[in-house]
Amino acid sequence: MAHAKLTAPTPHIAAKVGEIAETILLPGDPLRAQFIAENYLENVKQFNATRNMFGFTGTYKGKPVSVMGTGMGCPSMGIYSYELIHIYGCKNLIRIGTAGTLQPYVRVKEMVFGQGACTTGNYVNLQGLPGTFAPICSFELLEKAVASAKELGYKYHVGNILSSDVFYGVDLPHGKTWPEMGVLAVEMESAALYTNAAAAGVNALCILTISDGPDEITTAEERQTAFTQMMEVALSLA
């Protein structure tokens, strides 16, 4: 899509340059962004309410950090992460979200760090590369997240995740399944985040909490406020 050169504020983010920190947490749910700002950050200033996609900047243990919702799916994450990187200078983008488990040993309310992101969508292919790009996280952020989780005593898994364009769907008979390939969990945004970060040479990591399993589904309120372990680990990376 052709467009004029972007400047701040953008069509989707109302902030001025300098109002967003280099490290930003990116929950899909804007109410989770508000919860983090109100409960973990000090000296908070709201920088965005456009499309009700709330964004805030404050400090965590004296370090500047921002948090903003991104909505659902790779296209939405692609828009917000692109603008945050290229217009607002974000260097460390940490998605904190929920996911459905794909493995029996990955249980509800446990964390998954997305080392790589498979995808059923076309976002990665639209980069025009002469082959298949494998979106992976920043090892620097991953290493810090694992160390933080160990220090805090939290249960976590590290491995491949799936960014799906379908929330409600069934497995189709394509042969091998994602669980058979060792994929840990399914969500909807990380492949776009990792692709944009790689193209720009910045750091990105997806930290997920398992919200859905074969025998348990968490509530919307739990997703907004109760998954505090991933919030603490993500904030430790600032």
Q: Is residue 84 part of a domain?
A: yes
Catalytic residue IDs: 212
- Residue pair 102/185 in contact (Cβ under 8 Å)? The answer is yes
Which helix (H) or strand (E) segment holds residue 33: the answer is helix 30-40
Return the pLDDT at 149. Answer: 97
- What is the DSSP-derived secondary structure letter of residue 45? E
Q: Which residues contact 202 (CB under 8 A, 6 or more apart)?
A: 85, 90, 91, 92, 93, 138
Report the number of distinct structural domains present in the chain: 1
What pLDDT sits at residue 223?
Answer: 77
**Residues of the chain with confidence (pLDDT) below 50:** 2
Q: Where are the alpha helices (DSSP H) in 41-183?
A: 74-86, 139-152
Q: What is the mean pLDDT of the chain?
A: 94
DSSP string, 154-215: --EEEEEEEE-S-SS------SS-TGGGT--EEESSHHHHHHHHHHHT-EEEEEEEEEEETT
Residue-number span of the structural domain to which 186 is assigned: 23-235
Retrieve residue 94's tokens.
């940490």
CA distance 121 to 84: 22
Residue 10 lies in a domain: no
pTM comes to 0.95
Predicted confidence at residue 147, as pLDDT, reads 98
pLDDT of 138: 98
CB 196 within 8 A of CB 78: yes
CA atoms within a 13 Å half-sphere pointing along the CA-CB vector of 51: 14
Q: What is the CATH number of the domain that holds 209?
A: 3.40.50.1580
| 8 inside domain | no
- Predicted confidence at residue 3, as pLDDT, reads 57
In a domain, 1, yes or no: no
pLDDT at 93: 99
**Residue 183 domain-assigned?**
yes
Domain-located, residue 11: no
Residue 131 lies in a domain: yes
In a domain, 181, yes or no: yes
Contact criterion met (CB below 8 Å) for 186 and 168: no
Q: CA 234, CA 155: separation in Å to the nearest integer? A: 15
